[in-house]
A and B are shown apart, each in its own frame.
Chain A
Amino acid sequence: MTTTDAGALAPAPTQRKRPIGLLLVAAPVLLVLWLIIWPIISAVIQTLWLPTPDGGRALSVSSYQFFASDPYSRANLAITLWTTGVCAIFLLIICLPIALYLRFSNSRIAAYVQGLAIFPMFVPSIILSFAFIRVLGPNGTVDLLLNSVGLPKIKSPYLTPWGPVIGLVWDNIPLTVLILLSGLGNVSNQAIEAARDVGAGRFALLRHIILPRISNSILVAISFAVLGIFSAFTLPYVLGPAAPEMMGPFMQRTFRDLFDPTNAITQAVITFGFCIVFGLFYVRSVAKNRTP
């Protein structure tokens, strides 16, 4: 990862320390403290420091015990982990070939493929959900086409665990391709040609030359996807089954429909726990590319 190209910025201007700068940045920094840092701290405190029957509060892990002992909560966590894992695998299987093709091709078709791969970024997930239902839902376009050639209807993925998987993969293709493509920029043509000269085949090239050089980018892409998918709300809510549900819809329902903020926040803290490694790795990678 070099920081010398377009992503890097000029070093800080050398001036004497002027506290007026603090004044100018105060508003957004306070907003971050109030609406990001404090809610996270408060969420942990609130779910561990529970009200007692006699009106006071005491240290207790009972809300976490409830989550761990409740079969429905556990099923929701399991389906979330399954969806996240399956999506991450599919994203790699789909996006790595696209990125490799884009990196090593200079045909005119490559520009079209790149345009298409980035296009989902400009389609809001709610429109995607609607399109999904119209195409793959019951009596959707795929059914119409199959029916017209005399084939049976498909078993629709709508309202099954595969619904969110298809939607989330579709939604995450652009950034995964862009991140992998940016990583492939670090693989020099000389390295490839040198390996070819000594007779390396395509797969040897991929395994020994390309993959070691882009392993960091693959991890960044996976981390970004996991952070987005683990607590995704809109696509699982619209396309997924009612039960078990993914953590996003589960938290929303617990908070708004069951009016149970303590358990909703407990679920949120549990999602933080499962994603913390990916989150820290992702933030570290972004920070490394950017000097203020």
Chain B
Amino acid sequence: MSAPSIKVSQPIDWTGIAFAVILTLVIVFPLLVVGTWAFTNVWRFPSVIPQEFGLKFWYQTLARADVWSSITMSLTLATTVTVLSAIICLPAAYAFARLDFPGRDILFFSFLAGHAFPKFGLLVAIAGIFLQLNLIGTFWGVVLIQLVGTLLFMIWIPVAAFQAVDRRMEEAARDVGASPLRVFWSITLPQAGPTIAAALLLSFVGTFYETEGAWLIGAPQVRTLPVLMISFINNQPVIQYGAVLSVLLWVPSFIALLFARRVVNSGSFAKGFGA
């Protein structure tokens, strides 16, 4: 979508302006309302703008023990799941990209199995298994269910990264006597690194926001930030607590947005979803 190099006087893009206005109203405006609520001390009906702006509710929200414990819980869970996922998935991705072994293709596509079923139905079926294993309401139960959710991305994206590495450079390094481990460390990893980092970020952010598994398996014992947010929406009369929590909760997504925008806009991303 690059601008034409020759200056042609284009007619005014009314369709584009209409889309831009409608989408701004529907997509940006609701989020601005939440942002405004978070920095509002007093906003009573029927005033169109808040009576008093301020940070009062930031102090109050951050003074709540349940907010801190769920922030800690969410960060611990997302870190544990991402690390475990990296440990089991990255060697597998390397194997899928570089080695030939019996059943390679069918095993590669087996990671799609989870996507052929409606997600919450699958979670309930898994919960049926966890019930027999006494994993309901435990930290490791939630870790397992979220770990399954990261497998597809954590294998398919790194496989593409390993396959994109220039094989001739690896072979040249081998020719001058570098050990396989040395080649992997100095040639393969630096080239595949950025894409793998993107997969790790995606898996961290995805786990951070994972609500359904955490709610079904973990609640009320394991309370993550999104789970706390649900109880704020359902039972908390002070609107600002939810608004402040929304802004806090959005931070990881904002970081992902900064890094992932280019990836998402490229055609290969949509292809990964079957387009």
Q: How far is the CA of A24 from the CA of B98 in the complex (A)?
A: 11
Q: Which residue, A28, A97, A223, has most C-beta atoms of chain B within 10 A?
A: A28
Q: Which residues from 1 to 47 on chain A have a C-beta closer than 8 Å to any C-beta of chain B? A: 5-7, 9-10, 12-22, 24-25, 27-29, 31-32, 35-40, 42-43, 46
> What B residues does A230 contact at CB under 8 A?
118
**Residue in B33, B101, B274 whose beta carbon sits within 8 Å of that of A141 in the complex:** B33
Whether B265 contacts A31 by the Cβ 8 Å rule is no
> What B residues does A98 contact at CB under 8 A?
19, 23
> What A residues does B254 contact at CB under 8 A?
122
Whether A286 contacts B19 by the Cβ 8 Å rule is no
Check A168 for interface membership: any CB of B closer than 8 A.
no
Whether A131 contacts B34 by the Cβ 8 Å rule is yes
Instruction: Assess A31 versus B99: contact at CB under 8 Å? Given A124-B249, A182-B275.
Output: no
Check A247 for interface membership: any CB of B closer than 8 A.
yes
Binding site for B on A (CB under 8 A): 5-7, 9-10, 12-22, 24-25, 27-29, 31-32, 35-40, 42-43, 46, 97-98, 101, 105-114, 116-135, 139, 141, 143-145, 147-148, 170, 175, 178-183, 185, 217, 220-221, 223-224, 227-228, 230-234, 237-238, 247-248, 251-252, 255-256, 261, 264-265, 267-269, 271-272, 275-276, 279-280, 282-283, 285-290, 292
> What A residues does B159 contact at CB under 8 A?
9, 292
Instruction: Assess A123 versus B265: contact at CB under 8 Å? Given A25-B96, A107-B13.
Output: no
Instruction: Assess A19 versus B124: contact at CB under 8 Å? Given A122-B254, A170-B27, A179-B275.
Output: no
Closest to B160 in A: A9
Whether B273 contacts A29 by the Cβ 8 Å rule is no
Q: How far is the CA of A10 from the CA of B163 in the complex (A)?
A: 7
Whether A238 contacts B103 by the Cβ 8 Å rule is no
> What B residues does A122 contact at CB under 8 A?
253-254, 256-257, 260
Check B88 for interface membership: any CB of A closer than 8 A.
yes
Whether A29 contacts B129 by the Cβ 8 Å rule is no
Whether B212 contacts A29 by the Cβ 8 Å rule is no
Whether A127 contacts B249 by the Cβ 8 Å rule is yes
Q: How far is the CA of A128 from the CA of B4 in the complex (A)?
A: 37
Q: How far is the CA of A224 from the CA of B115 in the complex (A)?
A: 9
Chain A binder among B141-149, B173-181, B189-197: B141-149
Binding site for A on B (CB under 8 A): 1-4, 10, 13, 15-17, 19-20, 23-24, 26-31, 33-34, 37, 45-48, 88-89, 91-92, 94-96, 98-105, 107-122, 124-129, 131, 144-145, 147-148, 151, 155-156, 159-160, 163, 209, 211-212, 215-216, 219, 226, 229-230, 233-234, 239, 242-243, 246, 249-250, 253-254, 256-257, 260-261, 264-275
> What B residues does A126 contact at CB under 8 A?
209, 211, 226, 229-230, 233, 249
Whether A21 contacts B99 by the Cβ 8 Å rule is yes
> What A residues does B265 contact at CB under 8 A?
114, 118
Whether A24 contacts B125 by the Cβ 8 Å rule is no
Q: How far is the CA of A75 from the CA of B144 in the complex (A)?
A: 33
Whether A130 contacts B46 by the Cβ 8 Å rule is no
Given contacts A107-B13, A289-B271, 19 further A-B contacts (CB under 8 A): A6-B268, A14-B100, A35-B148, A36-B114, A101-B16, A109-B17, A122-B256, A122-B257, A130-B233, A145-B48, A148-B46, A175-B273, A178-B264, A230-B118, A233-B216, A264-B127, A268-B120, A275-B117, A282-B274
Whether A17 contacts B31 by the Cβ 8 Å rule is no
Q: What secondary structure prevails in chain B residues at the interface with A?
A: helix
Instruction: Assess A135 versus B126: contact at CB under 8 Å? Given A24-B94, A230-B118.
Output: no
Q: What secondary structure prevails in chain A residues at the interface with B?
A: helix
> What A residues does B257 contact at CB under 8 A?
122
Q: How far is the CA of A179 from the CA of B274 in the complex (A)?
A: 8
> What A residues does B234 contact at CB under 8 A?
238
Closest to A9 in B: B163
Whether A265 contacts B226 by the Cβ 8 Å rule is no
Instruction: Assess A272 versus B117: contact at CB under 8 Å? Given A21-B95, A31-B151, A148-B48.
Output: yes
Whether A19 contacts B101 by the Cβ 8 Å rule is yes
Instruction: Assess A127 versus B128: contact at CB under 8 Å? Given A32-B114, A272-B121, A279-B117.
Output: no
Instruction: Assess A182 versus B270: contact at CB under 8 Å? Given A31-B151, A124-B209.
Output: yes
Q: How far is the CA of A290 from the CA of B111 in the complex (A)?
A: 12
> What B residues does A248 contact at CB under 8 A?
120, 212
Whether A268 contacts B212 by the Cβ 8 Å rule is no
Q: How far is the CA of A117 from the CA of B253 in the complex (A)?
A: 16
Whether A105 contacts B270 by the Cβ 8 Å rule is no
Instruction: Assess A6 versus B118: contact at CB under 8 Å? Given A147-B46, A148-B48, A234-B212.
Output: no
Instruction: Assess A32 versus B24: contact at CB under 8 Å? Given A105-B15, A134-B34.
Output: no
Closest to B16 in A: A109
> What A residues does B261 contact at CB under 8 A?
118
Instruction: Assess A46 versus B128: contact at CB under 8 Å? Given A29-B107, A279-B117.
Output: yes
Closest to A138 in B: B45
**Residue in A183, A252, A283, A292 whose beta carbon sits within 8 Å of that of B275 in the complex:** A183
Whether B274 contacts A224 by the Cβ 8 Å rule is yes
Instruction: Assess A131 versus B30: contact at CB under 8 Å? Given A43-B125, A114-B265, A275-B117.
Output: yes
